[in-house]
Each structure stands twice: as C-alpha cells, then as structure tokens.
Amino acid sequence: MNFYDKLAAASQRNNSLLCVGLDPTAQNLPDRYRSSGELPDDLLRWNLAVIEATSELVCCYKPNIAFYEAHGAAGMDVLRRTIAAIPSHIPVLLDAKRGDIGSTAAAYAQACFQELGADAVTLSPYLGRDSIDAFAAYADKGLFVLCHTSNPGAGEFQKLPQPTGRPLYVEVAETATGWSKQVGLVVGATFAHVMADIRAAAPNAWFLVPGVGAQGGDLAGSLAGGLRADGSGVLLAVSRGVTGAADHRAAALALRDEINQIRQNLPATSSVPARSPSLIAALHELGAVQFGNFTLASGIQSPFYIDLRLLVSRPALLAQAAAAYGRILRTLPHDRIAGIPYAGLPIGVAVSLATGAPLIYPRKEVKQYGTGKGIEGTWQAGERVVVIEDLITSAGSLIQGAERLREAGLVVEDAIVLIDREQGGMENLAAAGIRGHAVYRLSDLLGELTAGGQIDSATAQRVKAFVSGTAQGRA
C-alpha cells in the first residue's frame, strides 16, 4: 500500500485528520517518564506512551529527525524503535526537510525510506525538481514539499512576487505538485489566509499543516481554506499539544473531535476554494482566442481565431504562459531552446528568462552582411535543442525551423507549443521525428470556456466540427 492510500485508510478508520509529532527533548520530558536510567531510554518511554495512548485517534505520526540526531547513535536507535512501535496500518512521516541533489539526495532517500522505514518525508524545493527525483524513485512513498512554512520569517522569500504576478509560494505549489503525484505540500496554519490560494493551485494534493497549538495557528481557517472538495486532504500536525499534555489520549481526542466539528460546520462551498482566473480564461479575455467568423490566409472561413502575438502586450500573462512552457521543458533533455520567428520568438525569450535555458533562434532570412548567420545566439553542434512555437496547425513552420537547426548539427527531437489546434500538426511533427508537447489542446480550451460560461455549447460544437473537417481534409 502506498503512503497516500495508507494515510486515507488510517484517516477513515480513525475518523481523523490529526497527525501527532513525536519530537522528544530533555527539556520537555515529563517527570513521570524520567528514571535513573539513560536519557534516551526515557525519551523512548515517552514516545511509546504517546503512541499507545493515541494510535486509535490519529491518521499519521511525524517524528522530527533532528531531535533524535541530537543524541547521536543512541538517539537514532530511539527513532528506529519508535518507528517500529507505530502500528503498521498508521503511516510514518519523517520530518527531515532534506534538500540536495544527485548521489547526496539518493543517499538521503535511502536513509529515510530503507534504513529508517519511513512512509513519507518532508523536502525543500529550493534546488528544483532535482532535489526530489531521488525520493520520487520510491514510488510508494509520500513527499511533502515546503510551500509556505509556519515560522515568522517565512514571508522573506516565500511571499516574493513572481513575473506571473503571483507570490512564490503559489508557484511552488503548482510547480512541485506537477513533478510527481507523490508530492504533497507543507503549509503553516499560522498563515491560514493563504491556504485557499494554495489549494486552488494544488486542488488534489495533501497538505501537511504545522503550527496548530503552541505556535498559535488558525485551525478553523486552515480547514476552511485547505480542505479539498472531498472534505479531506489536510493533515493537522500537533506535537507539544499532545505529547506535553498530562493525558495524551484526552488531548488527542479533544483535538480530533474539534477538527471534525469544524469540518462538519463548514459550509459546503468552503471546501472548494475559488480559483484565480486560468490562463485559458485570460487568453480569451485578452482576445487571443476569439470566436465568430474569420477569413484565414487560405480564404477558408473559420469559426475561431487564435492570435497569441497579443501576449507581448500583457507581460504578466506572457510570464504565466512561459511558466506553463517551463513545466513541460523541465521534463525534457535539452541544452538550449529555440524560438521560431516570429510569434515563437518573444515566447522563447520569456521561457528562457523563466527557466534559465539559453535561447537561440533560426533566422527566416540568412543575413547577407556581417557574419552571415543563419542561427542567432551561441551554440555547439551536437547540443540538444527544444523548439518553442506559439501554436501548431500543420507544423510547417516548426518543421522548417527544426530542419534548419538540424542542418547546423543541432539535435532537435522535441517541440513545445502553447496550443495545439488539433488539425494534424502533431502527427506531422512525429513523421519528422519530433515529439510534440502542448500546454493545451484546442479541446481543452473549448471545454474550460464552455464550463466557465464564456462560450456556449453550440459555439464549441461548431469549432469541433470545423476542426474535424479540416483535419480530415489534410489527412
């Protein structure tokens, strides 16, 4: 059973969203667990008592590895014995906040999952996807990425505005959950007012929510903004409020029941946060996607028209589109990207700025003066290039640009577009040995705009019929 199935089963069995943190320290050790023996033995006795008292009331346990590492080998032995004592049907989330890459990350993952036997771990996203790949290789494990933490200084970086106009924590939520279905998010209850924005960016993810209790987090606000549409998806983490209580069971029971009472009293709409306007809706509002009667260059009458050149006049929207390209680009091997003039060139610049990928571009006309370059920018033969274009219809300009790059010795095997008009272009790309990737298909646009009320179903059907007919005509 993978972590999230195990978590859901434990949550349902115990009717609980409570996660108890096991963070024993000598300073907070209750007197009743002190003995004349060694301190690690006392800390273990404390943990075992908490587990025995609360195992029927929680859905997860969260030991923080720092409190065990501080006691050296004896402390790590306490951690292993603590994990072994947790009933097998309750998952263990190791709070380690690892954040490294390559062989170091692989060693951390091995330590967390194989050596210690944890079901999930907390991770830092600061190094990008590379910092979670080694952990995601364990397909049955959960990965909780720091998104908006509970500490007072969280906003120094996490709230910084991005080119899209959104704060960094929203970009982290959307990007990190796109890396793997295993990714959940850490969102502090002390900043409950941001919970709904993060839920809108990550509608299906589980949230680990620390900060309830000693840190003064907003329990009701966290649930109102963080619960998924199914009334679940929020893991409320409490440590001292349970482990430091005179009666561990009574404290856990009171918290579990309070959480459930808040859940029951929330209006049905509270668990479905309002989404920010999507990129599709924004393109329609901009006029980049229009419906009506349009004469195409071929003379054919079309019931829709797409003009993504308008993006250059809306910098925030261009940046949002570039971020969407970037999420696909990160999954592809590449040394550089190439924007196809003219519409694909400003988008390519935006993608380069958003991802750090160096940009080149093939000229439509080779210069007859100066250096006589056919490809602008710096590059080396043999490098892998991902081609960037605004949209794809028949793929003629994409294939022509790719061939020019290939003639110069560059390797072109992938192309990304914002919109696939679904008129045969992807098939033509494949015939040219290029894998096509689209942020949206035309059918995606039609579905969302119909659902949002921007167009009616009759308009959507006219467009589909037109596209089907033109695609067949090209076949």
145-198 pLDDT, tens digit each: 999 998 889 889 998 887 767 889 999 999 999 899 999 999 999 888 889 889
Q: Is pLDDT of 469 > 90? A: no
Nearest one of 146, 147, 90 to 122, comparing CA atoms? 146
Question: What is the distance between the alpha carbons of residues 247 and 53, in angstroms, rounded to a whole number?
Answer: 9
pLDDT at position 270: 41
pLDDT at position 99: 95
Could you tell me which residue, 164 or 322, shows the higher pLDDT? 322
φ, ψ of residue 437 to 5 degrees: the values are -130, 130
At 475, is the pLDDT very low, low, confident or very high (cuts 50, 70, 90)? very low
Q: Is pLDDT of 216 > 80? A: no
Domains of the chain: 3-271 (3.20.20.70), 279-474 (3.40.50.2020)
Q: Is pLDDT of 42 > 60? A: yes
Question: What is the distance between the alpha carbons of residues 213 and 242, in angstroms, rounded to a whole number?
Answer: 9
Question: Can you count the helices (H) and strands (E) in the chain?
Answer: 19, 16
Cβ distance 251 to 242 under 8 Å? yes
62 is a catalytic site residue = no
Taking only the tens place, the pLDDT of each residue in 277-310 is 578 888 999 999 999 999 876 677 899 999 999 9
User: Which of 62, 97, 367, 373 is the catalytic position?
Assistant: 97
Q: What is the pTM of this model?
A: 0.66
* Mean pLDDT for the chain overall: 90
pLDDT at position 374: 83
Q: Is pLDDT of 268 > 80? A: no
**Helical spans, DSSP H, in 294-339:** 315-329
Q: Report residue 258 as tokens.
A: 């309070």
